[in-house]
């Protein structure tokens, strides 16, 4: 099940989108989320859909893979579509079957909302699929830098995030080990009523927490000995490079926005 899930997963690659600077990607996606709400007729929604397909094409991530990985989200999409069809009662009746009536406005709204939803999910997935978590962290750190003026600990937050990301696989392994150790002692995590199963999780969490704290302490010592003194006077090993690709993609977004403003009702 985890294999198919692509939420928050990173797929290494060398496409145009992969090579973009995380800063431009982040700005692009956040701006795009706002721009989506400008669309309000067939032409503008068609623009949005075409634009998203173009981005997917450029990221060289197969559309089938994307749709297959986002199945749980698709169910939600179908659900909202049906709600719109059933409950919006405006315009002419397009289709009638006994007391079940589909109105024109309902169909229109349903399709529009679905496209909006689809486009948003695709874009944000493309962001996480083509950017490694650590680059996203770097991007966020640089973009939040101005907030340092209002005493926001930007560097510390970014470091915390990157360490958390780095320890996810380590703690996953650990969980697996503890689970096996408890199973070897006769604890059954997969059967019985829900109450029993929740109870069985406790002997799993306690050792995990204990060891996580131990790790944190060791890590703090190691960091201190290696000269960590907070963000001041620190240089960066991972450099972000803004190049023509980034400028082009932001220009493309601006053009897109202009088109939407021009063609919307």
Interacting residues toward other proteins by CB under 8 A: 132-134, 162-163, 165-166, 169-170, 173, 214-215, 218-219, 221-229, 233-239
Cβ 30 to other proteins, closest distance in Å? Answer: 23
DSSP classification of residue 4 = T
Cβ 65 to other proteins, closest distance in Å? Answer: 23
**Which residues pair with residue 96 across a beta bridge?**
101
Cβ 87 to other proteins, closest distance in Å? Answer: 48
Closer Cβ to other proteins, 92 or 232, answer by number: 232
Closer Cβ to other proteins, 193 or 233, answer by number: 233
Closer Cβ to other proteins, 77 or 165, answer by number: 165
61 exposure class (CB count in 10 Å sphere: 0-12, 13-18, 19+)? buried
What's 103-132 look like in SS3? EHHHHHHHHHHHHHHHHHHHHHHHHHHHCC
**Closest C-alpha among 31, 216, 236 to residue 141:** 236
Return the ∠ at Cα 83 (arms to 82 and 85), rounded to 5°.
65
Cβ 163 to other proteins, closest distance in Å? Answer: 7
Closer Cβ to other proteins, 80 or 175, answer by number: 175
């Amino acid at each position: 099940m985890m294999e198919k899930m692509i939420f928050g997963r990173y797929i290494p690659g060398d496409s145009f989108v992969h090579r973009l600077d995380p800063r431009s990607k982040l700005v692009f996606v956040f701006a795009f989320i706002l721009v989506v709400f400008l669309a309000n007729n067939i032409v503008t929604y068609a623009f949005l859909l075409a634009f998203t397909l173009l981005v997917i094409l450029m990221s060289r991530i197969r559309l089938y893979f994307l749709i297959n990985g986002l199945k749980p989200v698709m169910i939600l999409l179908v659900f909202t579509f049906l709600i719109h069809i059933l409950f919006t009662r405006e315009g002419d009746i397009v289709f009638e079957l006994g007391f079940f009536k589909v109105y024109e406005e309902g169909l229109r709204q349903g399709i529009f909302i679905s496209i909006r939803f689809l486009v948003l999910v695709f874009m944000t997935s493309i962001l996480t699929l083509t950017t490694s978590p650590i680059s996203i962290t770097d991007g966020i750190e640089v973009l939040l830098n101005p907030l340092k003026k209002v005493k926001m600990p930007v560097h510390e937050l970014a470091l915390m995030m990157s360490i958390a990301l780095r320890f996810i696989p380590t703690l996953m392994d650990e969980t697996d080990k503890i689970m096996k150790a408890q199973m070897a002692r006769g604890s059954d995590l997969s059967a019985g009523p829900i109450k029993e199963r929740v109870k069985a999780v406790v002997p799993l969490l306690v050792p995990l927490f204990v060891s996580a704290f131990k790790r944190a302490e060791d890590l703090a010592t190691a960091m201190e000995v290696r000269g960590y003194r907070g963000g001041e006077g620190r240089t960066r090993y991972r450099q972000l490079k803004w190049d023509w690709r980034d400028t082009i993609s932001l220009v493309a977004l601006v053009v897109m926005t202009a088109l939407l403003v021009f063609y919307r009702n």
